[in-house]
Structure 1
Amino acid sequence: MIGTTRPLVGTGVLLKATLRHELKRFIPWIAIVTMLSTSSILAYAWMFPHREDRAVLDATIGGNPALGLIFGPARNLYTNEGFNTWRAFALGGFLTGIAAIFAVTKATRGQEDSGQAELLASGAMGRGARLAVAVLLGIIGSTLVGVVTALCTLLCGAEADATLLLAATFTATGWMMSAVAAVAAQLGSTARAANTLAVSTLSVLFILRGFLLSLEAPAWTNWANPLGWLDETRPATDNHWWPLLYALVFTLIVTAVAFGLSSGRDFGQGIIPSQPGSAHGSLRGVEGLIWRLNKAPAFTWVIAFVALGVIFGYFIGSVKDLLASSPAMAAMMAGGAVDPAQLVNNFAVTMLSMLGIIAAIPGVQVVLRIVSEENSQRIEPILTGGISRLRYCAVTLAAAAATSTMCLLTAGVLVAWLSSRADIGLSFLDVFIQAAVTSVATWPIIGIAAVVVGVRPRFAIAAWVGVLESFSITIFGPTFKAPDWTMAFSPFHHIPHVMESDAHGWGVLGLLVVSALLCVIGCSAFNRRDIGVG
């Protein structure tokens, strides 16, 4: 391997090539974040034309810490820009951060895993060039997210100050997560491990910010969280630009740490070494293989759902205080409840549905593991060794459904326990059964991912359509007064309220039929198409 004493030599040439091939991966993320912002501006005046409507919206959202957990505090819902800030600030930043993480990891550890990095290193290229290009890719892509979102939102009629600042927070989040991903790429032994480390870091920071803001924790807790710095910008109210400087400093410092770690690790290895396998073979068939491939991320998700179960259980346990402080919020969230007991029941169902949407994520990840194994050319030896494609696909889908169900039931146990101890009229058994029934709604989402993998694995990002659709309809549908036919597109809309006397299982039966149909289509398509072509 040809070396050079200049660590960044070749950065410019490699950056041009990388942008030409990899920048397009930001396009779906740019589209999603842009639609999130522009739809808020376009829909606000139509859905809430009168001040009375906006007052109800303010009481509904402002008094609901569960929504604050995801979207952050609602500081000004009487203007287009204030509503857009509440709806897009936290999610837009989170999505931009995810995009940056995936881009940086692919351009660092992803290249090492695939062998591309060794080919690049054999030329006249400095040791730090690839890492510098990866971070710059994340920074440029995140900047594009902010610029495109700002321009499109301004064209929809938004005011400039709040809109530009809001878009800048998206970019700043992407910058910080680019640096975090650069560090994770040095720590993880594989690209998958690096992605897990970086995404877990972002998710923990995201949940902690929302949880502490919902609890109205002391101000210093917000300053202890890098994502909390961006919350201090307060678009559409105070419009502070100076907290963005903290994000810039964070990016520079953490990137410097990444370069320091890079200089001290072996090529192709992570600072955190991978654990050696068992001295004796224990895999028995494709079932054991699928379990081995997915058990580590599954256990990680279960641990995460323990924390989520405590958080959501706390919110459900405090429902009486919420109802007392904000009757309008209770009425909208409950969607037609007529008495306090039914209000509490429907609130619990809403919270469990939110947990269900999150639980669908690890299930989709398991399905997408087929694509990653296929791209790494590890699946062909398995399929040529007597394992049928249908069996491989079916076992993977079963593992995906089991993972999502296990995650939701883990959280469901804690939610049920905390709810039953809160003296709000909910029993442990009722809440746990509701959580178990809700897990069925994750299966059609997994089925959608199966169809994408079976028909067009090249467009694997489309596997997340089910998660995005369910989240958008379930969370935003009631706020925007969506009609029943629109709400019906979310599988969580068909989950029965088992705590009600007139509950029936037709919705669950329908979800089972749809799930089975989607999985059959996905497996059949996977069985017919060429491996490595899609």
Structure 2
Amino acid sequence: MNGLGPLLRQRLRRDRLQLLLWILGTALLAYAGYAGVSQSYGTFEDRQNVLAAALANPVILMFRGLPSGPAEGAFVAFEVLPWLAMLAALMSVFLAVRHTRGDEEAGRAELVSATPAARVAPTIATIVHGVLANLVLGALTGLALAATGLDAGGSLLMGAAAGATGVAFLGIALVAAQLMRTSRGASSLSVWVLVAAFVVRGFGNAAGVAGDDLTHLTSAWPTWISPFGWAEQTRPYDADLWWPALLALGVGLALALTAALLQSARDLGAGFLPERRGPAAARPGLRTAHALVWRLAAGSIVGWAVGAALTGLLATTLGSIVDQVAGSNPAVAQILEKIASSGSLEEATVGVFFTMLGILAACCAVQTVVRARQEEAHGTAEALLASAVGRVRWLTGYLVVATCAVLVVVAVAMLAAYAGIATNDGDASLYRVVTVAGLGQLAAASVFTAVTALVFVLAPRQTIGVAWALVLAGTMLGMFGPLLGLPGWSTDISPFAVTPTVSGGEVDVRGLWWLLLVIAAGAGAAITLMRRRELAGAQ
């Protein structure tokens, strides 16, 4: 096909750094997963107890893999396989949208169309590029696991399951890029499908049937409509089933080819789903630059707030269930106390769920600030800055809206948590625990607001990749560092891990002061440096 080779080389050269970070990060997580399991759950009895506790508590099954026995390798898959698949899926989504709808918005696709390259050559090159990236990710992940001494066959299957999930979401994102008219819309649709697939997988496991040995689980049918569920059904180091991975691979390739057919049937820059017509005149509330930013970000803020409300409600309504399960099996307490160093199980449960809340709020903040880079790259910021709106005022608008968005997300979660305490006649002391945890995660999420703004000012073309990489690193260190047995200093790098907590009735402020210092320094530096920064177009 004309132009396929040069287009593929251009994509590989353009993405070499980002793909290196995604692939190495996934392989390192797999290796660290084995290290954490061998250190924290080194005996057969330890792993058996944890699996029994997971089968007794659907909440654990929502955020872990499919129990497939207490063998060391199978337990590693239970701990980290969903998250390896999640990394591959995110990598593939961003790759697909960047090289399809993103190139159309930036004008690069139009330039390619003016060459002898075939009409669908860019899409085909993106498909090959994405499949190769997931192939390397799966191979290195499998080799990292095999290097620990685990069975080579199970290790390669686990890597293949993660890579096949990435290919499935590559196809989903490519179709989304054909349906939506903007890269923002394509990314949002793809990520929402990803989140829904992950949640559906969790519900399928939570509604499954436990085996007689209390170490295996047969998932319910919802698991089979999710690519993440297909990855788990491979059961590495146990049944070693390859066909679910091949199913994910086949579905991904079928969707990718569908996207190529859709590409050939539409006009450049158009989408199959029409955009909603806006009003002829703006309402009074849109007269300021701040209001415009809020209008652009409102939809995504509502979505993050809904997730935060569910998180807050679960934080306080599941405490009694966890307490009952731990009364007969201390494994649940061991898991929670590794993540949140709290004095009681209910405090630990709130700590776990509010750490997830902090991650949701940070994602909301980053998505809001990153819009400034998207507006700049698309050329719409130039028209706004040609008016009476200055650079500093323009960037400040995004910082203010991002801060308000974080406040909304955290406040909704706290209100939902308070409602959970009131409706379940919970311990009144939990009100204080929720308040401290919520305000602490507010500070943690605000760190990412300030740092993303600073990256936008200093390295605008790297804003999106660096900002999301920082959130991912903070999540892995703060959420999974203790479970994986990582050193304390590495876990404390994550803002999510050093927020104030209530332990035994006492408030431990921990890293609150340095979080506030980073927020003030980062936001101040970004605003100051923005005074002399010129607009930076798309690459």
- TM-score bracket for the superposition, by shorter chain length: 0.7 to 0.9
* The one of 516, 522, 525 aligned to 2:526: 522
| Matched ranges for 1:456-475 at <5 A | 456-460=459-463, 461-475=465-479
2:446 — aligned with what?
443
Q: CA deviation at 1:363?
A: 0.6
Deviations 1:44-74 (A, max 9, x none): 4455555566566656766664443233234
The range that moved more, 160-169 or 359-368, is 359-368
**Taking structure 1 as reference, are residues 477 and 102 closer, same or farther at Cα in structure 2, changes over 3 Å only?**
closer
State whether structure 2 residue 162 is matched by structure 1 residue 170. yes
Residue 235 of structure 1: aligned partner = 236
Contact 1:409 1:435 in 2 (8 A): no
Question: Would you say the 8 A contact 1:454–1:524 is kept in 2?
Answer: no
- Map 1:85-96; keep pairs closer than 5 Å: 85-96=77-88
For the structure 1 residues 98 and 506, does the alpha-carbon distance in structure 2 shift closer, same or farther, using more than 3 Å as the test? closer
Shift in Å at residue 424 of structure 1?
4.1
CA apart distance, 1:356: 1.6
1:316 touches 1:351 (CA, 8 Å); kept in 2? no
Residue 443 of structure 1: CA displacement? Answer: 1.1
* Alignment correspondent of 2:26: 33
Distance 1:428 1:57, change over 3 A: closer
- List per-residue Cα deviations over 1:251-307 (Å, max 9, x = no partner): 243234324433443321111112223211343232123223322322333344445
Aligned partner letter, 2:378 = S
Closer, same or farther: CA 274–114 of 1 in aligned 2, 3 Å? same
Q: CA deviation at 1:180?
A: 0.6
Q: CA, structure 1 residues 496+59, in 2 after alignment: closer, same or farther (shift >3 Å)?
A: farther
Contact 1:405 1:436 survives alignment (8 Å): no
Q: Which moved more, 1:106-115 or 1:416-425?
A: 416-425
Cα gap change, 1:84/1:459 in structure 2, threshold over 3 Å: closer, same or farther?
farther
Q: Within 5 Å, which residues of 2 pair with 1:91-130? A: 91-130=83-122
Conserved in 1, the CA contact under 8 Å of 2:354 and 2:438?
no
Question: Residue 158 in 1 paired to residue 160 in 2?
Answer: no
Q: Is the 8 A contact 1:75 1:82 kept in 2?
A: yes
Say if 1:448 and 1:509 are closer, same or farther in 2 by CA, change over 3 A: same
Q: Residue 209 of structure 1 aligns with which residue?
A: 201
Distance 2:352 2:491 in 1: 13
Is residue 193 of structure 2 the alignment partner of residue 192 of structure 1?
Answer: no
Opposite residue 70 of structure 1, the aligned amino acid is: F
Question: 5+ residue gaps in structure 2?
Answer: 210-218
2:7 to 9, 14, 21: 14
For residues 236 and 325 of structure 1, do their structure 2 counterparts lie closer, same or farther at Cα, with a shift above 3 Å needed?
farther
With 445-454 and 522-531 compared, the bigger mean Cα shift is at 522-531
Change (3 A) 1:470 1:370: same
The residue aligned with 1:5 is none
Normalising by structure 1, we get a TM-score of: 0.87
Give the CA deviation at 1:206: 0.8
Mapped to 1, the partners of 2:355 and 2:178 lie a distance apart of: 37
Q: CA 1:71–1:529 in 2, change beyond 3 Å: closer, same or farther?
A: farther
SS at match of 1:278: coil
Whether the 8 Å CA contact 1:349–1:434 is kept in 2: the answer is: no
User: Retained in 2: the 8 A contact 1:448–1:466?
Assistant: no
Gaps of 5+ in 1: 1-7
Give the alignment partner of residue 135 of structure 1, picking from 124, 127, 135.
127
Q: 1:257 to 1:414 in 2, by over 3 A?
A: farther
The question of whether the paired residues in 1 share the 8 Å contact of 2:310 and 2:416 is answered with no
Structure 1 counterpart of 2:336: 333
* Contact 1:345/1:426, CA 8 A, preserved across alignment: no
Change (3 A) 1:530 1:257: same
Does the aligned pair in 1 maintain the 2:342–2:504 contact within 8 Å? no
Q: Distance in 1 between matches of 2:489 and 2:132?
A: 40
- The normalised TM-score by structure 2 is 0.86
Letter in 1 for 2:445: T
